[in-house]
Each structure stands twice: as structure tokens, then as C-alpha cells.
């Protein structure tokens, strides 16, 4: 199983790069750079490519509404070049709050756009002249909608690889099915190993049945919070530290009746709790919403406890099909994060 880590949205590039270099020495296989409405992920990934030599660098995730399919392909090829073939392209739709609220773009057709972007990226990396007629993207632009001067072009540079791995962040049944069919990796959120099969099993099976053999096995990610401690009070504090993020997504990432994360947690068997968290959060009672997040849920989607307890949970994630753990270490300093990740690497083996 690969061991990875998500970086923080708010970290400074230089400080993070120093830490990532230490994480590489500690045996961490992968770091993922998120992108919400912070600094862009691409700048940091390029900076990290110059400071590392072995580990995989992944966008986690690039929001595809804000980039054309060909720009996404060009960016991935450039990052793969500067990292000597160590880049993985993580893409996703994000959500209306970011796409419409921050970028001023319409959030529409996420399923269709995902497939078309993957098609175009692979076409670009093969250095084929890009001629694509999709429902959401048409390349070149038809003469009736432009100047008529556009013509098919192919990437000038020769990519390091013509098959850069593509991981898709997806949650809904149709999007997970499509991910299993066409992507190299699948990145869900708040992964519950004991409930994953009942929520996503049918979608994964349907997608894998249509998967091209040359794609190989689907890389399944999980992104739990991580705290390894023998102290009950420290473990309880770690559980409490995870709750604000869960409350934000369950309660605040969407409206009543349209919140992907609320629906996910409900499907895990926490419908009543998810409803209460959302009501409290949207009513402005955020601290009460945080307090309403069940300890049981936090522990199910996290890696918190003694080394033996964490090892047991890692085994549960692996048994459910997870192949890459990109954790969020609960630590107060860079030195503590590096030590925690080093210990976790040794624990996973």
C-alpha cells in the first residue's frame, strides 16, 4: 500500500518544500497538493518537483471547470516533465460554492465534462492533432462559433509519458461508475471501509466491468486523518480535532437537499445525525454542529489510536480495496508531522 499525505491549503511554499523533502527521506511515497480558493496547486507542485527526486507529486485536485481540457493536459505534461515522470493528475468538479461563488462559472454537466477531459488529455499526451466533438467541449471551435481560423494542433513538446495517471475525485453512483471505467485512480472523501461496499460496491463493479484492460487495476485512495498515540486523552483530542472539518462538509458544503457530503454520511447510516448537523450549521450554530458529529463516525473514517489500533484500521482499509492512503497527520509542527509520517510508514510496511 502506498503512503501519501495531503498538504495544507495555507502553507508557505518554501516551508512546505523543506518539510516535503524530509517526508521523502522518511519514506513517504506521495504528496497531494489541494486547490480550493488558495494559491493554485500548479505553482506549488512545480516548486516541489525541484526539491524532491523520488516521491510522486499529485494534484489533489485541479478543478476542471477553471481550465480547458487542453490546458489541463499541457499543465500535467509540464509537471510530469519537471518532475521526471513523477506527476499524477488529480481532477474533480469541486462544488458550486467554489466554481460559481469564487470563479463565476456555471457548475454544470460534471459527469460529461470529466469523461471528455480525460479523453482530450490522453489525446494530447499521445501528440495527436486534437480533434474532439463532445457535448461540452469541441476542438477546434466550429467555424460557425468562431473566426473559422482554428485548425487541429498537437502538443509541440514530447511528453515524458503518454499515459500520465489520472485520478478522479468522485462520490455519486454515476460518477464513481464512470471513474472505475475510465480513470487510473479513484479519490473519494470520508471513506468508511466497513460501509464502502454498500455505498459504492455496485457502481464500482459496473464501471470495472467496462474498464479497458490496458488501464490496469484501479488505484483506490482513502484520505483519513492520522494520529498515533497510546494516551486516551490525546486520542480523544484528535477525534475532536477532526470534527470541525466533518461538520463543515456535512453541514455547510451545500444547501438543504443538495449536499453531496451530507448524502454520503447519511448513506453510511447516519441520516439523523447528518440532518441535525446540517440544520445546526445552516442556522449559524456551528459549534453545536461540530459537537453533534458522532465520535463513532470520526473513528470510522480516520486512523486514530495506538499503533496496534491504527494498524488494525489500516488492515480494514486494505481489505476494503484501498491501495493508497493519503493521510492528514494531526500534528502541531513540521517536526511532529515528519515523525508521525515516518512512524506510519514503518507501521504500514
DSSP letter at 7 equals P
Among the listed residues 31, 41, 95, the one whose alpha carbon sits nearest the alpha carbon of residue 65: 95
Take residue 325 and report the three cell numbers written for it. Answer: 492512503
Q: What tens digit of pLDDT does each residue of 130-148 get? A: 999 999 999 999 888 889 8
For residue 144, the model assigns a pLDDT of 84
How do residues 56-88 score in pLDDT, each as one tens digit?
999 999 999 999 999 999 999 999 999 999 999
- Which segments of the chain are extended strands (E)? 2-6, 30-33, 56-59, 62-63, 87-92, 132-133, 138-139, 166-169, 185-187, 219-222, 225-228, 303-305, 324-329
Q: Coil, helix or strand for 87? A: strand
Tell me how far apart the alpha carbons of residues 42 and 219 are, in angstroms, rounded to a whole number: 22
Is the separation of the CB atoms in 332 and 320 below 8 Å?
no
Length of the chain: 349
β-bridge partners, 32? 6, 58
Q: Show the cell assigned to 76.
A: 500535467
Cell 450554530 -> residue: 285
Q: Answer for the pair 281, 213: CB distance below 8 angstroms, yes or no.
A: no
CB 7 within 8 A of CB 31: yes
| H/E element, 113 | helix 110-125
Name the DSSP letter for residue 126: T
Q: Which residues contact 220 (CB under 8 A, 6 or more apart)?
A: 185, 186, 321, 322, 323, 324
pLDDT category of residue 9 using cuts at 50, 70 and 90: confident
pLDDT digits (tens, 9 = 90+) for 264-281: 999 999 999 999 999 999
List the grid coordinates of 275: 440532518
pLDDT digits (tens, 9 = 90+) for 169-228: 999 999 999 999 999 999 999 999 999 999 999 999 999 999 999 999 999 999 999 999
d(C-alpha 203, C-alpha 222), whole Å = 17
Question: To 5 degrees, how large is the angle CA 148–CA 149–CA 154?
Answer: 120
Please state whether the peptide bond connecting residue 140 to the residue before it is cis, i.e. omega within 30 degrees of 0.
yes
Split at pLDDT 50, 70, 90, the class of 14 is confident
Distance, in Å, from the CA atom of 143 to the CA atom of 140, rounded to the nearest integer, reads 9
Q: Give the strand pairing for 166-169 and 87-92.
A: parallel
Cβ burial, residue 12 (10 Å; 0-12/13-18/19+): exposed
pLDDT tens digits along 278-334: 999 999 999 999 999 999 999 999 999 999 999 999 999 999 999 999 999 999 999
For 184, which DSSP code?
Answer: S
Residue 251 carries which DSSP code?
I
Please give the mean pLDDT across all residues of the chain. Answer: 96
The per-residue pLDDT for 199 is 98
| Residue pair 52/73 in contact by the 8 Å Cβ criterion | no
Alpha-carbon span 196 to 317, nearest angstrom = 10
- Per DSSP bridges, beta strands 138-139 and 132-133 are antiparallel
Q: From residue 246, how far is each of 69, 73, 86, 243 by CA, in Å?
A: 31, 32, 31, 5
The pTM score is 0.96
Tell me: pLDDT of 15 over 90: no
Percent of residues, the chain, with pLDDT higher than 70: 100
Amino acid at each position: 500500500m502506498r503512503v501519501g499525505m495531503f498538504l495544507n491549503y495555507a502553507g508557505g511554499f518554501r516551508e512546505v518544500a523543506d518539510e516535503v523533502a524530509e517526508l521523502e527521506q522518511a519514506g513517504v511515497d506521495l504528496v497531494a497538493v489541494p486547490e480550493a480558493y488558495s494559491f493554485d496547486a500548479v505553482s506549488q507542485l512545480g516548486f516541489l518537483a525541484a526539491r524532491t527526486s523520488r516521491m510522486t507529486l499529485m494534484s489533489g485536485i485541479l478543478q476542471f471547470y477553471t481550465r480547458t481540457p487542453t490546458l489541463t493536459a499541457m499543465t500535467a505534461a509540464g509537471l510530469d516533465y519537471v518532475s521526471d515522470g513523477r506527476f499524477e493528475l488529480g481532477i474533480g468538479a469541486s462544488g458550486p460554492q467554489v466554481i460559481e461563488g469564487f470563479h463565476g462559472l456555471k457548475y454544470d454537466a460534471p459527469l460529461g465534462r470529466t469523461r471528455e477531459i480525460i479523453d482530450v488529455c490522453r489525446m494530447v499526451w499521445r501528440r495527436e492533432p486534437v480533434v474532439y466533438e463532445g457535448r461540452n467541449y469541441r476542438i477546434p471551435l466550429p467555424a460557425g462559433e468562431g473566426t473559422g481560423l482554428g485548425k487541429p494542433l498537437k502538443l509541440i513538446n514530447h511528453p515524458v509519458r503518454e499515459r500520465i495517471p489520472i485520478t478522479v475525485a468522485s462520490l455519486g453512483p454515476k460518477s464513481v461508475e464512470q471513474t472505475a471505467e475510465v480513470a487510473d485512480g479513484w479519490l473519494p472523501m470520508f471513506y468508511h471501509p466497513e460501509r464502502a461496499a454498500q455505498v459504492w460496491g455496485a457502481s464500482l463493479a459496473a464501471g470495472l466491468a467496462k474498464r479497458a484492460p490496458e488501464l490496469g487495476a484501479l488505484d483506490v485512495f482513502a484520505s483519513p486523518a492520522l494520529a498515533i498515540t497510546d494516551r486516551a486523552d490525546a486520542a480523544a483530542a484528535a477525534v475532536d480535532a477532526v470534527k470541525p472539518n466533518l461538520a463543515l462538509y456535512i453541514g455547510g458544503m451545500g444547501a438543504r437537499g443538495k449536499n453531496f457530503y451530507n448524502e454520503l454520511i447519511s448513506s453510511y447510516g447516519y441520516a439523523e445525525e447528518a440532518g441535525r448537523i446540517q440544520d445546526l450549521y445552516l442556522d449559524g450554530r456551528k459549534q453545536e454542529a461540530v459537537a453533534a458529529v458522532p465520535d463513532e463516525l470520526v473513528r470510522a473514517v480516520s486512523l486514530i489510536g495506538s499503533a496496534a489500533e491504527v494498524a488494525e484500521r489500516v488492515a480494514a482499509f486494505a481489505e476494503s480495496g484501498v491501495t493508497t492512503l493519503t493521510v492528514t497527520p494531526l500534528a502541531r509542527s513540521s517536526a511532529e508531522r515528519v515523525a508521525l509520517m515516518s512512524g506510519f510508514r514503518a507501521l504500514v510496511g
